[in-house]
A and B are shown apart, each in its own frame.
Chain A
Amino acid sequence: MKVVQIAGYLGSGKTTLVIALSRKVAEAGMKVAILVNDIGSVPVDGRVMEEYGMTVKDIGGGCICCQVAGTMMKTLETLARGTKPDVVIIEPTGIAVPESIRQTVMLNAAKTGAVLGPTIVLFDTTRTEKLLTYDTLKRLVNTQIRDADIIALSKIDLSSAEAAEYAEKAVREMNQTAKIIRLSTVTGEGLSVLADRIQEVTVQV
Chain B
Amino acid sequence: MNHKHKKSARNYTGRSEMANMTAKERVMKFLNGEKVDRPPIFSGMGNVIKPVLDKNNIIFSRVHRDPELMAKAAAGMYREFGYECAVVPFDFGVEAEALGAKMNYYDEVEGLLYPTVKEKSVISIDDVKIPADLKNAGRIPVVTGAIKALRRELGNDVAIGTYILGPFTLAGQVKELDALFEDSFLEPEKTGKLLEKLSGFIIDVFKIYQEAGADYFTLREMGGTSDVMSPKSFKSLIKPHLVRIISEMPRPSILHICGDTNAIIGDMADCGADAVSVDHKNCMAETRQKLGDKAIILGNFDPIKVLHKGAPSDVGPAVLDALKGGASAVWPGCDLWPEVSRENMDAFMKALTNV
Contacts and interface: CB of A to CB of B under 8 A. Distances in A.
Contact of B182 (A40, A58, A71, A134): A134
A104 B304 contact: yes
A201 interface: no
Nearest to A71: B113
Contact of B338 (A70, A94, A140): A70
Interface residues of A, number: 35
B185 A63 contact: no
Interface in B185-229: 185-186, 222-223, 226-229
Contacts of B305: 107
Contact of A139 (B118, B173, B228, B308): B228
Interface of B: 91-92, 104, 106, 109, 111-114, 116-118, 169, 172-173, 177-178, 181-182, 184-186, 222-223, 226-230, 232-233, 237, 258-259, 279, 304-305, 308-309, 333-335, 337-339
Contacts of B116: 38, 60-62
B304 A60 contact: no
Contacts of A29: none
Interface stretch (A18-26, A73-81, A156-164, A186-194): A73-81
Contacts of B184: 136
A182 to B, nearest CB: 23
Given A135-B230, A143-B227, A69 B177 contact: no
Nearest to A63: B172
Given A10-B177, A62-B117, A73-B304, 4 more contacts: A64-B92, A64-B169, A94-B178, A107-B309
Contacts, number: 103
Contacts of A11: 178
A95 B169 contact: no
A55 interface: no
Contact of B222 (A10, A66, A108, A135): A66
A202 interface: no
A130 interface: yes
Contacts of A16: none
B113 A136 contact: no
Contacts of A135: 185, 230, 232-233
17 contacts: A10-B177, A58-B113, A64-B92, A67-B91, A67-B335, A70-B308, A70-B339, A71-B113, A74-B111, A74-B339, A95-B177, A97-B227, A107-B304, A107-B305, A134-B186, A136-B181, A136-B233
Interface in A94-127: 94-95, 97, 104, 107-108
Contacts of B118: 38, 40
A63 B113 contact: no
Contacts of B309: 107-108
A67 to B, nearest CB: 4
Contacts of B186: 134
Interface of A: 10-11, 38, 40, 58-64, 66-67, 69-71, 73-75, 78, 94-95, 97, 104, 107-108, 130, 134-140, 143
Contacts of A62: 92, 116-117, 173
B283 to A, nearest CB: 17
A197 B248 CA distance: 54
> Which of B104, B222, B304, B338: most chain A Cβ within 10 A?
B304
A78 B111 CA distance: 10
Nearest to A111: B309
Contacts of B227: 97, 140, 143
Given A62-B173, A66-B222, A95-B228, A71 B114 contact: yes
Nearest to B178: A10
5 A-B pairs with the lowest CB-CB distances in the bound complex, closest first: A70-B337, A62-B116, A66-B334, A134-B185, A10-B178
B185 A75 contact: no
A40 B117 CA distance: 12
A59 to B, nearest CB: 8
B115 to A, nearest CB: 8
B354 to A, nearest CB: 28
Given A95-B228, A140-B228, A64 B304 contact: no
A60 B185 contact: no
Contacts of B229: 136, 139-140
